[in-house]
Amino acid sequence: MPEAVLVAGGAGYIGSHAAKLLHQRGFHPVVVDNLVCGHRSAARWGTFVEADLADRDQIQAVLLEHRIRAVMHFAAHAYVGESVRDPAKYYRNNVANTLSLLEAMQAVESDLFLFSSSCATYGEPREVPIAEDHPQSPINPYGRTKLVVEGMLRDFETAYGMRHVSLRYFNAAGADPDGELGEDHDPETHLIPLVLEVARGARPHIAVFGTDYPTPDGTCVRDYIHVSDLAEAHVLALEHLLAGGESRSYNLGNGAGYSVRQVIEGARRLTGHPIPALEARRRWGDPATLVGSSEKIRRELGWTPQLPGLDTILETAWRWENGKRRAAGPLGR
Ligand code: UFG
């Protein structure tokens, strides 16, 4: 019988790609999602259970019924700006609900956990590329919620022997190369989908948040990592824990930085659309440059991103974006 993996938030952007890959690799994904941000249509591999992580009894029942061997936890709110305006929402969902999930696991002696953490736990970098031993000093509530959970996992290991891998993503981007899944946030705030929405005529322009950063062209530099490569890292980390491996924290990025202007330029080349860009004020809480070193997971688990180039990331996202256009009609949404 295939090993069952609970995928919390498996109807969301990154979780759905992970569920698909788990299925392809012979695991049985059990997607648990409350569908507040996720989409039922994205949860089509394995079993789907509509449930809230706050409902500890139901989660415990799912863990037992499906003989869950490990948990991948993607369910979280992830808007930095919103986390500043409404931190309670973030501590409730990202911290309290994670605690509830961990307690459910503890109650049934389920002890392998893969956590979606973030480069936002580092805060303003002292040096780039950022390695895992860079001090973690988040500058917004979103990053702090992720850091609290990382600490919680270490304490749960010491006290209860629960092993974990925390995966600190840089900028997740792109879409399933088969075109079956992609980014679908509401509201959308991420650069790449917004730029492509301009290209397909669903928005008039893209605002460039800040052109006076200490970077080569004055706009923020980010390390974009393909969502399928993130999914692959989760499966490798799962196999590491299943083989008895120790708890770890790993960065997931390509180690290459692209500025906002470079992303827009790449999208213009790809789509042939002029993509009007308007210079706007800096967005609060954006570090100038975030680029990660992922040497540790490459060395220890053999992770090698298969879709590392910005052009490939844009191409897969564009295919997905066009699928949305077909669904919405010729004028977009
Ligand atoms: N940007 C624009 N215009 C836009 C949208 C974004 O110029 O309309 C800029 C941002 O200022 C930033 C860059 O494009 O410099 C990328 O922005 P995204 O919103 O796409 O992603 P972030 O860099 O804000 O990602 C951060 C962290 C992640 C975290 C994520 C949560 O790097 O770790 O926020 O949404 F998960």
Q: Which residues are catalytic?
A: 142
pLDDT given for residue 332 in this prediction: 32
In a domain, 281, yes or no: yes
**Same domain, yes or no: 119 and 246:** yes
Q: Is there a domain that residue 95 lies in?
A: yes
Residues 78 and 111 placed together within one structural domain of the fold: yes
Give the ligand 1 atom nearest the CA of 280.
7
The pLDDT profile of the chain, 333 residues, written as one tens digit per residue, is 899 999 999 999 999 999 999 999 999 999 999 999 999 999 999 999 999 999 999 999 999 999 999 999 999 999 998 999 999 999 999 999 999 999 999 999 999 999 999 999 999 999 999 999 999 999 999 999 999 999 999 999 999 999 999 999 999 999 999 999 999 999 999 999 999 999 999 999 999 999 999 999 999 999 999 999 999 999 999 999 999 999 999 999 999 999 999 999 999 999 999 999 999 999 988 999 999 999 999 999 999 999 999 999 999 999 999 987 566 554 333
pLDDT in tens, 64-95: 999 999 999 999 999 998 999 999 999 999 99
* Closest among 203, 202, 199 to 314, alpha carbons compared: 199
Query: Does one domain contain both 263 and 238?
Result: no
266: exposed, middle or buried (Cβ count in 10 Å: 0-12, 13-18, 19+): buried
Q: How many domains does the chain have?
A: 2
Name the residue with the closest Cα to ligand 1, atom 31: 78
Is 185 within the bounds of a domain? no
* Residues 215, 234 share a domain: no
- Tell me which residue has its CA closest to atom 19 in ligand 1: 190
Distance, CA 109 to ligand 1 centroid (Å)? Answer: 38
Q: What's the rounded Cα separation, in Å, for the pair 245 and 186? A: 38
Looking at the fold, whether 56 and 131 belong to one and the same domain comes out as yes
Residue of 37, 80, 149, 183 to test ligand 1 pocket, by largest number of atoms within 8 Å of CB = 80
In a domain, 186, yes or no: no
pLDDT at 326: 65
Question: Could you tell me the CATH number of the domain that includes residue 86?
Answer: 3.40.50.720
134 and 259 part of one domain:
no
In the sheet with 47-50, reading across from the earlier edge strand, the strands are 47-50, 28-33, 4-8, 68-73, 112-118, 163-169, 248-252
Residues 67 and 89 in one domain: yes
The reply to whether 177 falls in a domain is no
For residues 172 and 118, what is the distance between their CA atoms, to the nearest angstrom?
Answer: 10
What is the token pair recorded at 228? 């399928």
Query: Which amino acid is present at 51?
Result: A
**CATH classification at residue 301:** 3.90.25.10
Coil, helix or strand at residue 328: helix
Cβ 261 under 6 angstroms from ligand 1:
no
* Ligand 1 contact via 194 beta carbon (within 6 Å): yes
Q: How far is the CA of 46 from the centre of ligand 1 (A)?
A: 32
Gap between the terminal Cα atoms of the chain = 44
What are the residues whose beta carbons fall under 8 Å from the beta carbon of 126, sequence distance 6 or more? Answer: 134, 135
Q: In whole angstroms, give the CA distance from residue 229 to residue 273.
A: 28
Distance 191 CA to ligand 1 centre (A): 6
Q: Are residues 248 and 261 in the same domain?
A: no
* 233 and 309 belong to one structural domain: no
Q: Clarify whether residues 206 and 278 are in a common domain.
A: yes
In-domain check, residue 180: no
Q: Report CA(234)–ligand 1 centroid distance (Å).
A: 22
CA of 208 to the centre of ligand 1 (A): 11
Same-domain pairing of 134 and 263: no
Do the bridges between strand 68-73 and strand 112-118 make them parallel or antiparallel, or are there none, so unpaired?
Answer: parallel
Give the amino acid at 230.
L
19 and 142: one domain?
yes
**What atom of ligand 1 comes closest to residue 173's alpha carbon?**
20
Look at ligand 1, atom 20, and give the residue with the nearest C-alpha.
190
Could you tell me if residue 38 is left (phi over 0), alpha (psi between -120 and 50 degrees) or otherwise beta? beta
Q: Containing domain of residue 128, as a range? A: 4-172+225-252
182 assigned to some structural domain:
no
